[in-house]
Amino acid sequence: MDTDKQLNILREGFLVKRGHVVQNWKARWFVLTPDKLLYYKYEGSKRDSCQRGKILLKDCVITCPFLEYENRPLVMKLQTKHGVDHYLEACSREERDEWAADITAAVNNLQTTNGKSKTDKPDPAESQLNNISLSKVLDSMYDVHSGIKLSNHVEQGSTYSNCFSGSAVVDWLVFMQLVLTRVEAVTLASALVEEGFLRTVGLKSVEALRTAGLSGQFMDDSTALYSFSDSLKKRGSVKAEKSLSAVELSGKVIKRGYLLKQGHRRKNWKVRLFVLRSEPAFLHYYDPAKDDISPVGGFSLRGCLVSSLEDNGVPSGVKGNVQGNLFKIITQRDTHYFIQAPTHQEKMDWLDAIRSQC
């Protein structure tokens, strides 16, 4: 059996994995080693000592981004040499791309070790962007089955319908193999904006277009919004609506990641995706096992008390033998939230980020 002392750990952390038999999504603790990806179950805020499974990386093929799950834009796919597919979701685009890069590096190292040369990187000079038909790209974006997905987005208290983020466009262009790199995707998307096929939506993308040059007019950013041009008269118009829930979800995302939270009633511990926002300052948490894009809970950070809990012994209010990397948030309504980070450094990072908003 593999143990942490025996393993050469390249990276570790939470990812959400789709099951093979029952195709539900569950958070698992993943450990990347030079030749395999191990995953473990978390129970009662602790990682199981026995691994739940492993993915052998030799001759593995990774697809990132993988965009066939409409409500899960942060998925990557790993296909083993035996044709078994594994679908893994990260908490952010940055986290997903870092995992993908580290896994790809491990796969390439295995190929080199076994006498195969690494795949040559594409020469930017060989890019065929100049030969791409923008009209054909647009038609592909409109495709009902494989095109880019339109959804509702919130920016500064306004909910915009029938639009998509800049990062979603870049992900889609790479996934459809219309470009080789994210840099090329930004260049192509900028051309779509320049020719009037796409238009800016909301303040962030509008300001970027106003202040940037041609090469920087499109933003590979999950908070910069775009839509199809009104002149095309397809897929409806973009509308902006105000609501109280939209206001609390409209702030700038400061930090996001997987943390463990103790339930208020049953006092059991579950992995949740936490998202910290500013202006207004809110902390929301989501169930990574569900496709619902709405938070299952959240609270304003105004007037909150945030404290780090000692690692020696079980703190008061914490159920079970749970200790280490814990912190507590008390809201203005005197609701107590007990949260555990995977590592001490992550706990300190979250404490600093949350305190900056209180």
Residues 219 and 262 in one domain: no
Q: Are residues 337 and 297 in the same domain?
A: yes
Which residue in this structure is represented by tokens 């195969």? 116
The DSSP output letter for 121 is P
Let me know whether 252 and 349 are in one domain.
Answer: yes
Percent of the chain with pLDDT over 70: 82
- What are the angstrom distances between the C-alpha of 172 and each of 56, 74, 169? 27, 12, 5
Distance separating alpha carbons of residues 245 and 154, to the nearest angstrom: 10
* Structure confidence at residue 284 (pLDDT): 93
Domain span at residue 53 reads: 11-112
Q: Are residues 15 and 69 in the same domain?
A: yes
Taking CA atoms, 206 is separated from 185, 226, 295, in Å, by: 19, 9, 28
As a whole number, mean pLDDT of residues 268-285 equals 92
Which whole number is the average pLDDT over 37-59? Answer: 78
Of the two residues 294 and 104, the one the predictor is more confident about is 104
Burial of 58 (0-12, 13-18, 19+ CB in 10 A): middle
Over residues 6-29, mean pLDDT: 86
Query: Do 260 and 341 fall within a single domain?
Result: yes
**Domain at 150, CATH number:** 1.10.10.10
pTM: 0.70
Task: Name the pLDDT band for 127 (thresholds 50, 70, 90).
Answer: very low
Task: Decide which of 112, 143, 170 is a domain's last residue.
Answer: 112
CA nearest 13: which of 114, 125, 92, 108?
Answer: 92
- Any bridge partners for residue 261, and if so which? 270, 339
Do 108 and 207 lie in one domain? The reply is no
Q: Are residues 218 and 278 in the same domain?
A: no
Q: Considering only residues 316 and 83, tell me which one the structure prediction assigns the higher pLDDT.
A: 83
- 234 within some domain: no
The helix/strand count (H/E) of the chain reads as 7, 21
Residue 215 buriedness (CB in 10 A; 0-12 / 13-18 / 19+): exposed
Q: Residue 239's pLDDT is what?
A: 52
At residue 242, the pLDDT reads 45
* Total of domains in the chain: 3
CATH number for 21: 2.30.29.30
CB 184 within 8 A of CB 127: yes
Asked whether residue 120 is assigned to any structural domain, the reply reads no
Per-residue confidence band for 216, with pLDDT thresholds at 50, 70 and 90: low
pLDDT value for 49: 64
Average pLDDT, rounded, for the chain: 82
**For residue 101, what are the contacts with CB-CB under 8 A and spacing of at least 6?**
none
Q: How confident is the model at residue 192 (pLDDT cuts 50, 70, 90)?
A: confident
Whether residue 125 is contained in a domain is answered as: no
Is it the case that residue 234 has pLDDT exceeding 90? no
C-alpha span between 286 and 304 (Å, rounded): 20
Confidence at 35, pLDDT banded by 50, 70, 90: very high
Alpha-carbon distance of 356 to 67, in angstroms, equals 34
| Residue of higher predicted confidence among 28 and 230 | 28
Q: Which two tokens stand for residue 172?
A: 């889609």
What is the average pLDDT across 272-286?
Answer: 93
pLDDT exceeds cutoff 80 at 91: yes
Residue 103 sits in the same domain as residue 173 = no
Q: Is the pLDDT of residue 333 over 70?
A: yes
Strands in 240-325 per DSSP E: 240-242, 252-262, 269-278, 282-286, 297-300, 305-308
Domain's final residue, options 201, 228, 255: 228
Judge whether 241 lies within some domain: no
Q: Which residue from 159, 137, 170, 126 is spatially nearest to 246, judged by alpha carbons?
A: 159
Phi-psi region of 113 (alpha: psi -120 to 50; beta: other; left: phi over 0): alpha
Is the per-residue pLDDT at 119 higher than 80? Answer: no
Q: What is the pLDDT of residue 123?
A: 44
Residues 34 and 85 in one domain: yes
- Which residue bears the tokens 């209010």? 317
128 in any annotated domain: no
Same domain for 139 and 49? no
Let me know if residue 67 belongs to a domain.
yes
Please check whether residue 238 lies inside any domain of the structure. no
For residue 130, give the DSSP letter: G
Residue 209 confidence (pLDDT) above 60: yes
Determine the Cα–Cα distance for residues 217 and 136; give it in Å rounded to an integer: 21
Residues 159 and 224 both lie in one domain: yes
Residue 240 lies in a domain: no
SS3 232: helix
What pLDDT score was predicted for residue 114?
67
Examine the pLDDT at 233 and tell me if it is beyond 50: no
What average pLDDT does range 283-297 have in this prediction?
Answer: 87
Summarize the confidence of residues 274-301 as an average pLDDT: 89
Of 46, 79, 112, which residue sits at a domain end?
A: 112
